[in-house]
Amino acid sequence: MSMFCYQCEQTAGGTGCTRRGVCGKSPEAAALQDLLLHAAKGVARYAHRARQLGAADGDVDRFVVEALFTTVTNVNFDVERLVGCVKKAAQVRDRAKRLYEEACKSAGQEPETLDGPAAFQPADTTEDLVAQGQDVTIAKRLEAHGPDVAGLQELITYGLKGTAAYADHARILGVEDDDVYAFFHEALDYLAGDPTDVDALTATALKVGEVNLKAMGMLDQANTDAYGHPEPTQVRVTPVKGKCILVSGHDLKDLDDLLRQTEGKGVNVYTHGEMLPCLAYPGLKKYDHLVGNYGGAWQDQRSEFDAFPGAILMTTNCIQKPKETYQGRIFTTGLVGWEQVTHIAPNADGTKDFTPVIEAALAAPGFDEDTEAKTITVGFARNAVLGVADKVIEAVKGGAVKHFFLVGGCDGAKPGRNYYTELAQQVPDDCVILTLACGKYRFNKLDFGDIGGIPRLLDVGQCNDAYSAIQIALALAEAFECGVNDLPLSLILSWYEQKAVCILLTLLHLGIRDMRIGPSLPAFVGPAVLNVLVETFGLKPVTTPAEDLAAILS
């Protein structure tokens, strides 16, 4: 069975996965994800028209966001659950259709007859659903429109997927925005029409960046309202004796719920991957049994999880195919899933019972002794950095700090990512490095020292905390009475999946120029589109650390 997917940086041959995803995604799962996206467009077509008539349905809004997030790289590989998502999409589409028709009746107008994704009807069997998915694959549009038009359509789609991830995390903590939901429906309705105008497609992609900035702001509000603003915090990165649970992914509420349920049970909890920044939130680090961070970025999990002597909980994307050696003690929750891995679904009231995870931790051996204590410092989000902005500004004006580098983004296994380690090591001693997302693991355990008490390495947080980095840059630009592009600030980004795509679109929307991106350029950006990005925004592929630093500092 064939497939086509090129939404991540590690896609096969730099062109597209055609037999099985490098991520581990089966052709069946790929087809069902394509079909789910197609069905979500059908839901959005009705929801968009209903909203134009003043009618909205929260359940419809949330489903579209969840459907998009489900198709992000390394989220849901479970064919059975994907089948359920596709069938639910048809039910939600019918609900959105009724909403639209009732709104038309109230407005005294005739409803449109919609075709394409809006008329989708799911097949009865998994085999036939997979066949339906293969009929709506991106390969069809590549053949029909060529790499530039099809690639721009996908750029919008991938940006929407990433934005959906942030909107979903914010929604879980009670922060939603009707305008953001409206844009998801509007953009998907636009894509359902198979648009081909390059200028309009480019404008829509930048609009995704604008809306993503709002979604990241929503998530920042949700996280800080619930758990306080991150504080500079020393985090232990070596194990301590005792039973243990490792929490990976991105979801703060899942970690909070697990910490509540493990209090007094003699189980230590560790963060992994993008959960590391959680240890800086006052509302989370208050738990004594949240003892530190274990391991590094997502791509090393198969060896790290295998060596971890406890239970593992995956809260969002970043899961890889589990080894048999730990398949019985890894659990998923939320939208993430893998076949034959126990899933912790919410109860009817929305709560989750993590008892199976706790029992697996108690049954596992745990760490039999303390390891020598080693720590790193995290928690330099916008509130912390802007709290000492006067010192930063004084250091720049006095010449102590010559330049700022934002070096961060996704990590990955593809060769070439040692570039970011070498770049960080070669940054001159009178420069400060801001970092975020799991790309930080390439250098976050190195000692960079400080400049007059200002740490040379400032860990801003998760990928969504690009919002914090943007706020820091805007505040500095205001203080120096200049534009962001006039600051002594350079962005060197690493990307892997769709959340990195929407962040890039946000930065382009803000007009930030001369960014460098690597380790390779997106396969879905066609040659003509790349030329526009280079000419309009000065976007550059990374070369070598020495060459890039020389060009930046010249």
CA dihedral 8, 14, 19, 21 (to 10 degrees): -20
Q: What is the mean pLDDT of the chain?
A: 97
For the segment 450-480, what is each residue's pLDDT rounded down to a tens digit? Answer: 999 999 999 999 999 999 999 999 999 999 9
Query: Is the per-residue pLDDT at 312 higher than 90?
Result: yes
- Compute φ and ψ for 522, nearest 5 degrees: -60, 135
In this structure, the answer to whether residues 347 and 459 fall within a common structural domain is: no
Q: By the 8 A CB rule, do 536 and 203 touch?
A: no
pLDDT at 415: 86
* 91 vs 134: CA distance, rounded Å: 21
Strand extents, DSSP E, 395-506: 403-409, 431-436, 450-451, 454-455, 457-461, 489-494
In this structure, the answer to whether residues 185 and 310 fall within a common structural domain is: no
- Give the domain range for residue 272: 233-363
Does pTM surpass 0.85?
A: yes
* 449 vs 453: CA distance, rounded Å: 9
**H or E element that contains 280:** none
CATH of the domain at 45: 1.20.1270.20
pLDDT at 88: 98
Q: What are the C-alpha distances in Å from 237 to residues 271, 280, 292, 368?
A: 10, 14, 6, 16
Q: What are the C-alpha distances in Å from 376 to residues 207, 218, 330, 373?
A: 37, 28, 27, 10
Average pLDDT over residues 8-19: 95
CA dihedral 140, 68, 61, 150 (to 10 degrees): -30
In this structure, the answer to whether residues 439 and 525 fall within a common structural domain is: yes
In this structure, the answer to whether residues 37 and 96 fall within a common structural domain is: yes
Q: What percent of the chain has pLDDT over 70?
A: 100
| Residue 485 is assigned to a structural domain of this protein | yes
Query: Is the per-residue pLDDT at 2 higher than 90?
Result: no
In this structure, the answer to whether residues 216 and 272 fall within a common structural domain is: no
* 352 vs 336: CA distance, rounded Å: 15
| Residue 434 is assigned to a structural domain of this protein | yes
pLDDT at 9: 95
Q: By the 8 A CB rule, do 516 and 423 touch?
A: no
* 93 vs 431: CA distance, rounded Å: 53
* 2 vs 468: CA distance, rounded Å: 41
Spell out the SS3 assignment of 182-213. HHHHHHHHHHHCCCCCHHHHHHHHHHHHHHHH
| Residue 5 is assigned to a structural domain of this protein | no
174's tokens: 């009670």
Domain boundary residue, one of 363, 386, 403: 363
In this structure, the answer to whether residues 405 and 350 fall within a common structural domain is: no
Degrees (nearest 5) of the Cα angle 197, 203, 206? 140
| Residue 374 is assigned to a structural domain of this protein | no
Cβ neighbour number for residue 307 with a 10 Å cutoff: 11
In this structure, the answer to whether residues 504 and 549 fall within a common structural domain is: yes
* Residue 1 binned pLDDT confidence (cut-offs 50, 70, 90): confident
Average pLDDT over residues 405-423: 94
417's tokens: 């990512």
In this structure, the answer to whether residues 350 and 410 fall within a common structural domain is: no
In this structure, the answer to whether residues 530 and 427 fall within a common structural domain is: yes
For the segment 130-189, what is each residue's pLDDT rounded down to a tens digit? Answer: 999 999 999 999 999 999 999 999 999 999 999 999 999 999 999 999 999 999 999 999
Domain boundary residue, one of 225, 254, 275: 225
| Residue 373 is assigned to a structural domain of this protein | no
What is the domain count for the chain? Answer: 3
In this structure, the answer to whether residues 100 and 188 fall within a common structural domain is: yes
| 23 three-class SS | coil
In residues, how long is the chain?
554
Spell out the SS3 assignment of 88-153. HHHHHHHHHHHHHHHHHHHHCCCCCCCCHHHHCCCCCCHHHHHHHHHCCCHHHHHHHHHHHHHHHH
* 154 vs 164: CA distance, rounded Å: 15
Strands 267-271 and 243-248: parallel
Q: What are the C-alpha distances in Å from 496 to residues 111, 115, 256, 519?
A: 42, 34, 27, 9
| Residue 238 is assigned to a structural domain of this protein | yes
For the segment 432-454, what is each residue's pLDDT rounded down to a tens digit? Answer: 999 999 999 999 999 999 999 99
In this structure, the answer to whether residues 51 and 200 fall within a common structural domain is: yes
| 79 three-class SS | helix
Cβ neighbour number for residue 340 with a 10 Å cutoff: 9
| Residue 386 is assigned to a structural domain of this protein | no
| Residue 4 is assigned to a structural domain of this protein | no
Q: Sign of the C-alpha dihedral, residues 386, 391, 395, 401?
A: negative
Degrees (nearest 5) of the Cα angle 492, 494, 497? 145
- Those residues with Cβ within 8 angstroms of residue 359's Cβ, 6 or more apart along the chain or in another chain: none
CATH of the domain at 278: 3.40.50.2030
For the segment 494-547, what is each residue's pLDDT rounded down to a tens digit? Answer: 999 999 999 999 999 999 999 999 999 999 999 999 999 999 999 999 999 999
Provide the residue type at 392 as one letter: V
pLDDT at 376: 98
In this structure, the answer to whether residues 121 and 172 fall within a common structural domain is: yes
Provide the residue type at 110 as one letter: E
pLDDT at 414: 85
* 100 vs 181: CA distance, rounded Å: 16
Query: Is the per-residue pLDDT at 345 higher than 90?
Result: yes
- Compute φ and ψ for 215, nearest 5 degrees: -65, -40
